[in-house]
Amino acid sequence: MRVAMYYNNKDVRIEEAPLPQIGTGELLVKVMASGICGSDVMEWYRIKKAPLVLGHEIAGEITAVGDGVKRFKVGDRVAVAHHVPCNTCHYCMNGHYSVCDTLRTTNFYPGGFSEYLRVPQINVDRGTFILPDNVSYEEGTFAEPLACTLLGQKKANLRPGQSVLVIGSGISGLLHIQLARALGSGKIFAVDITDYRLKMAKQAGADVAIHAKEDVPACLRKANYGRLADHVIVCTGAAPAIEQAFNTVDRGGAILFFAPTEPQATVPMKLWDLWRNCNSIIMSYAGPPDDTAASLELISAGRVKVKDMITHRLGIDETALGFKLVTEAKESVKVIIEPHR
């Protein structure tokens, strides 16, 4: 079978690999669609494990079922989560699935940018979901990123009627905007450095789109009854965006850091201001199985219109182009690889 082997962001090669062999409790899935995530192009993170086949936002068709599998059959259309929790450790029992050791080590093989993949038994048990009939394969690839978004907003305790500022209007930011709108948020603001993404933010449901070079706090106060934002969601690891978050959160508000920085990055904080204003700082990544299932329901019901975010659909031979588009972050949002296109 063909796979897109990642060496670095500018070197993604189409190579031949053996068809994965499945064992007891496992599945073989024909990958019909796989989204390129922003984390796939975090070269500082990926290159230390290269060469490897990336791709963790996948949907496909089951083509073989291992002994003992009862819930799935050949021909089922599924979305598959790459990381799944153990559900029994101290962290899982306290609801902190994202820091579970099992979640951090599980994966399917070889990766979504391939024609087929093997789903291990634990992923079959708690990370494989039947696609609703009205959800396409390409829409199914959003189950994982939307689950991450849903977990983040739950951890930040977003409530109906509260104002939200999303900094960074890439795919994560757009998902946060759509989800906040679907869950009844008040005014939604978006900030980005490009006009194209600000336009996409408006289409996704932002009430006001603000260029990062503007006086963002002043824009917020003008459009938000004299106040800053109840919730600030940071969807970029850029230092100016992080600084902006501290300057735009209202008293009693929360900042959700949804995107990582490089490991050695440090950020100065005015702890006095945070203490005096009773601000909360929340970190979130990954999404547990319950949120993946909920995400598919949101997509199926049309409450989050993920199809509108897809700007490019490419065959596996064009995976290198897909990485280029996502890395440059110009006029692209979601790039989908279709290995059997």
Same domain, 88 and 109: yes
Q: How far apart are CA 79 and CA 299, in angstroms?
A: 13
Q: How far apart are CA 33 and CA 138, in angstroms?
A: 5
Rounded to 10°, the helix 143-155/289-300 angle is: 110
Same domain, 8 and 103: yes
For 213, the token pair is 């070079």
What are 26-83's pLDDT values in tens digits? 999 999 999 999 999 999 889 999 999 999 999 999 999 999 999 999 999 999 999 9
Can you tell me whether residue 150 is helix, strand or coil? Answer: helix
φ/ψ of residue 257, rounded to 5? -90, 105
The total of structural domains in the chain comes to 2
Tell me, yes or no, whether 152 lies in a domain.
no
**CATH number for the domain that contains residue 82:** 3.90.180.10
Same domain, 19 and 133: yes
Q: How far apart are CA 109 and CA 40, in angstroms?
A: 16
How high is the pLDDT of residue 133?
Answer: 97
What are 118-163's pLDDT values in tens digits? 999 999 999 999 999 999 999 999 999 999 999 999 999 999 999 9
Same domain, 295 and 274: no
Same domain, 63 and 99: yes
Q: Provide the domain limits for residue 58.
A: 2-145+287-338
Q: How far apart are CA 111 and CA 133, in angstroms?
A: 25
**CATH number for the domain that contains residue 242:** 3.40.50.720
Tell me, yes or no, whether 313 lies in a domain.
yes
How high is the pLDDT of residue 313?
Answer: 98
Tokens 């869950």 correspond to: 183
Rounded to 10°, the helix 171-182/195-204 angle is: 20
Is residue 32 a contact partner of residue 60, using CB atoms and an 8 Å limit?
yes
